[in-house]
A and B are shown apart, each in its own frame.
Chain A
């Protein structure tokens, strides 16, 4: 196997010492060939990042350490190298980029200096040659105007630019292997598409191998040659991309696929993986996934599964593929998974096909909503400029319906949510809830209305007071609004609510930190439900969660809507969630809605060029179905100083002279489908 570049054998890494040590990586073996893209796929806490850091010997000291195994780069064991020789490997033969480009660059050094540093060490260039090489690298990663950018500091660059700079730093040593640890997770989907495209291109140009660490099946489908699936510190499946996407073998891999929300799955609940990842402090006597596996039987709990080759280059760690054991398995061995999905059906009752009925009157009507934040400067701190965070948004949510508000970070969608809830007072416009103008209400009158509309936040870790018990958290709203005066009755109601979101009564007297992310989000939903709201604004409720947990929450939200007739305003950047859950979609760009209409219409035939680009950027699971990415020029403009005419015009591939002159008016292009673009001149 001369073409093997990196070989990992039985790698073990631990965080901490003694009996409480976490076995973050527990016997991982894999091989990466030259020029190949190997995707390490897994949910949070599965040990994929720790594997990458172990290769670089960069585990967080002194808690983390490698306790066993070998890491061979071209036959040289990296774990045996002296620190000085290892430094030549880091940044030289192996480059690495990280998830958070915002914090991964040194804020007080210019971009050029940070790249030059790496070039100097590994290529030994000085003076003019060094400067030339830095500019070359900036060019190579697609940063325009490299000479100027080299003298800028990281904070002057956008997130996508920063990640490009990170890549340039990693490329400086002309590595044979580039490790990319969730390189696009913190980026918007259009930026993600560009960065992935860049990585693909660089790999083709330089012939380096790429170890891509990700949790996103779509990214894997678009980028990888080979895939390794990690679960609880171990590799559970490994295959080339095509066979893996065609026929994933491990029950965990299958569940991952099934839990991805799509338009096609609208009619039924998503598959979920019950329970949560086991604690890695324990020693396992059986399969690590057995507790959560629908197909587990006695053998899975008693014997540690071995690695089985199921096809050429396709291996699985599962008893289902052990000929000696599979006889004891319930049901047929490899084919059936319909039966296995029985548990998902129980999670929520199946709604009637075709989504929800047309719904009655509009519960919420927002007209020309605007929120401007003043920017003060000058001698007397006068308002010199404004941040046009929300600048004329109109939308309506019908009873029992779900409207998705979609847009990239900074487009103002969260501000819309807070302005609707009157957490931020709008600068202008009207918010009518059930016929009542909310912007006119003050004090007690507004407080009395608050029970009708509630919010679920994005970050389940920040949305609950860590010093309060779950019971107190859930009942806070009831007490504040004086809904249930009697303490005992309130307690009963809280227990009821927790049961409704799938938590048991003992949770009442526990603290938020004792729950996982998904469970916390359930508690937040219970808190919102406590006051019997009619509308719930969900602000990215699943974007901090793993895909299998996301499925649980989506099922729960859908089930609650069917039972209670709730309306949702669902704010998200995730179009697959939209396609699964929403009835209508509104696409936001820089404080305004550029297109809205029924989900089926907009997603199938987007009209606005921005919507088109957004949809094209979403990586799809259909491997090979490689849609061309619509490249958007530059970065999203600042809401302080929106471009003249159509806000999207500087980046629009189809911009016309008129676009620079005035903002387009809305044009109806279908039933309830409206778009604001000069391509569709009004009727």
Chain B
């Protein structure tokens, strides 16, 4: 088990290097560091000295991937790519192109992101499982048919609609909760109700359908017949046998996104003005701040890989058949 985890972590290194290569290639294929500097300094009155100055300050005064001026290993290490990547691997995000401390920003903005993403995740998971169980329990009745149709309808509605309708109905018409203006502490709780509700509702359609398929598939298996032949009631078969087996794919599917909760929900945060990492990313996109975007890409990849690892570990916890080697 330990050897497996260590191996997976080692395997993550080439993946993260690959991720960095891709982001660097993407961002610098057309935008040279000069372009970046010019943009950050403002288009007007930029002297070449000012550009050089800015580049040196932000560590862009080297070649991208290959430094022909140096010799030996330094040809590869004394480059923007190497310098910036090595720092990222140490989780030192450095300064953003506009001069902010990215690491501090992330630490600060992580909490609002979690405050919304975690409740959405947990409440959503519980809601979807409950709905799916209900639908499966009422198999082959009109209740099932209408519930299935309802889920299709719900998943056909744009998530933007849920947000806009929620803000409009609950916030504006009924004045029940504030629409924007996140602040820490207790008042955040009242404010978070709406975004969380919107987040959960917009996920019900696809989530419930997916879990229903899983449960239905379990119902077709032989051990269910054995359970019935024992004289178990349908409810017991559902909860003791089907639910327990169905939880294997459900839990492991959910675990993979667990670490990604840190990076927040772009749309929800942006719409509701929550100062989390999601809106941080969007702001960076709109401000064309590559340093932040790159950091978020790296962070996202790390979290994804951690998620994969957690998935494997959670398999061993919920499924006795699986052992990691």
Which residues of A pack against B, CB within 8 Å?
56, 58, 61-62, 84, 87-92, 95-96, 98, 100, 103-109, 117-118, 121-122, 153, 155, 166, 169-170, 172-173, 376-381
Chain A residues, Cβ within 8 Å of B319 = 107-108
Question: Which of A62, A89, A105, A122 sits near B226, CB closer than 8 Å?
Answer: A105
New A-B pairs, 20, CB < 8 Å, besides A166-B226, A173-B230, A378-B325:
A88-B231, A90-B230, A91-B229, A96-B229, A104-B222, A104-B223, A107-B320, A108-B245, A108-B248, A108-B320, A109-B241, A121-B232, A153-B320, A170-B229, A173-B231, A376-B325, A379-B6, A379-B7, A380-B7, A381-B7
A121 with B231, Cβ < 8 A, contacts A106-B241, A155-B321, A381-B7 known: yes
Contact A107 B223 (CB under 8 A): yes
Confirm or deny: B44 has a beta carbon within 8 angstroms of a beta carbon on chain A.
no
Is B226 within 8 A of A106, CB to CB? yes
Can you give 10 A-B contacts (C-beta < 8 A)? A88-B231, A89-B231, A90-B230, A91-B232, A104-B225, A106-B226, A108-B318, A108-B320, A169-B230, A378-B3
Q: How far is the CA of A363 from the CA of B137 in the complex (A)?
A: 63
Residues of chain A contacted by B318 (CB below 8 angstroms) = 108
Q: Could you say which residues of chain B place their CB within 8 Å of the CB of A381?
A: 7
A379 to chain B, nearest CB (A): 5
B221 touches A (CB below 8 Å): yes
Most buried by B among A106, A170, A172: A106
- A117 near B230: Cβ-Cβ < 8 Å: yes
Q: Are B140 and A61 in contact (CB under 8 A)?
A: yes
Contact with A along B291-325 (1 / 0, CB 8 A): 00000000000000000000000000011110001
Closest to B6 in A: A379
Looking at chain B's contact residues, the main secondary structure is helix
Give the nearest-CB partner of B224 in chain A: A106
Question: Known contacts A108-B248, A153-B321, A379-B6: does B223 contact A91 (CB below 8 Å)?
Answer: no
Please, which residues of chain B bring their CB within 8 A of the CB of A92?
Answer: 231
Given A90-B230, A122-B231, the answer on whether A106 and B245 have CB atoms closer than 8 Å is yes
Residue of A61, A91, A378 touching B230 (CB-CB under 8 A)? A91
The 0/1 profile, CB within 8 Å of A marked 1, for residues 124-167 of chain B is 00000000000000001000000000000000000000000000
Question: In whole angstroms, how far apart are the Cα atoms of A84 and B235 in the complex?
Answer: 12
Whether B244 pairs with A108 at a CB distance below 8 angstroms is yes
Which of A56, A98, A121, A170 makes the CB contact (< 8 A) with B222? Answer: A98
Please state if B320 and A87 are interface contacts (CB–CB under 8 Å). Answer: no
Number of B residues near A (Cβ < 8 Å) is 26
The answer on a CB contact under 8 Å between B232 and A107 is no
Interface residues of B in 206-236 (CB under 8 A from A): 221-223, 225-233
B188 to chain A, nearest CB (A): 39
A102 → chain B closest CB, angstroms = 8
- Closest CB in chain A relative to B230 CB, distance in Å: 4
Of A58, A105, A122, A153, the residue contacting B228 (CB under 8 A) is A58
One digit per residue, 1 when the CB lies within 8 angstroms of any chain A CB and 0 when it does not, for chain B 47-60 equals: 00000000000000
Smallest CB-CB A-B distances: 7 pairs? A91-B231, A91-B230, A90-B231, A103-B222, A377-B325, A153-B320, A106-B223
Closest to A378 in B: B3
CA gap between A155 and B230 in the complex, in Å: 20
Q: Which residues of A contact B87 (CB under 8 A)?
A: none
Which B residue sits closest to A109, measured CB to CB?
A: B244
Residues of A with C-beta under 8 A to B3: 377-379
Give chain A residues whose Cβ lies under 8 Å from the Cβ of B225.
58, 98, 104
Q: B223 contacts A103, CB within 8 Å?
A: yes
B240 at the interface (CB under 8 A from A): yes
B229 cross-chain contacts in A, Cβ below 8 A: 56, 58, 90-91, 95-96, 98, 170
* Shortest beta-carbon distance from A59 to chain B in Å: 10
Chain B residues near A122: list those with CB within 8 A.
231
CB-CB < 8 A to A376: which residues of B? 325
Taking the closest CB of chain B, its distance from the CB of A148, in whole angstroms, is: 15
Cα A106 to Cα B244 in complex, Å, equals 9
Closest to A95 in B: B229
Q: Find chain B residues with CB under 8 A from A169 CB.
A: 226, 230
B325 and A87 contact, CB distance less than 8 A: no
Residue of B nearest to A113 (CB): B240
Nearest CB in chain A: distance from B41 CB, A: 49
CB-CB nearest in chain B for A88 = B231
Residues of A within 8 A of B320 (CB): 107-108, 153, 155
Write out the residue numbers on chain A whose beta carbons fall within 8 Å of the beta carbon of B6: 379
* Residues 1-48 of B contacting A (Cβ, < 8 Å): 3, 6-7
Can you name the residue of chain A whose Cβ is closest to the Cβ of B318? A108
Output the residue of A56, A96, A98, A107 with the most chain B CB within 10 A.
A107
Chain B residues within an 8 Å CB radius of A61? 140
What 1/0 flags go to B230-271 for Cβ under 8 Å of A?
Answer: 111100000011001100100000000000000000000000
Residue contact A98 to B226, C-beta cutoff 8 Å:
yes
Give chain A nearest CB distance to B247 CB in angstroms.
Answer: 8
Contact, CB under 8 Å: A87 / B231: yes
Contact among A87, A103, A109, A377 with B232 in the assembled complex (CB-CB below 8 Å): A87
Q: Which residues of B contact A117 (CB under 8 A)?
A: 230, 232, 240
Separation of A143 and B319 alpha carbons in the complex (Å): 24
How close is B12's CB to chain A, nearest CB, in angstroms? Answer: 14
Cβ distance A625 to chain B, nearest Cβ, rounded Å: 35
Docked CA distance A376–B325 (Å):
8
Nearest CB in chain B: distance from A377 CB, A: 4
CA distance A95 to B229 in the complex (A): 7
**What CA separation (Å) do A105 and B320 show in the bound complex?**
13
